[in-house]
Amino acid sequence: MQSRGRPIRVFYAFDPWRQAVLLLAGDKTGDERFYETFVPKAEAIWQQYLAEEETKRG
């Protein structure tokens, strides 16, 4: 995805209940370590989301 010619990356997943979950997004311009930084953050957000949903849903 791009905005004004700048590359924007969006991290998302589908949960076990078939809902799309947007985890994180960012501008990757000039950041050679973008994925090294953002993937662990997205994974942490995902794990937290799953834990909270499991608690809510039982």
Phi, psi (5° rounding) for residue 51?
Answer: -65, -45
Question: What are the tokens at 28?
Answer: 């990757």
Question: What's the gap between Cα 29 and its chain centre?
Answer: 18
Phi, psi (5° rounding) for residue 27?
Answer: -90, 120
Identify the domain containing residue 36 by its residue range.
Answer: 2-57
Reported confidence tier of residue 1, pLDDT bands at 50, 70, 90: confident
Question: What are the tokens at 42?
Answer: 């997205």
Domain count, the chain: 1
pLDDT tens digits along 27-53: 999 999 999 999 999 999 999 999 999
Enter the pTM of the model.
Answer: 0.87
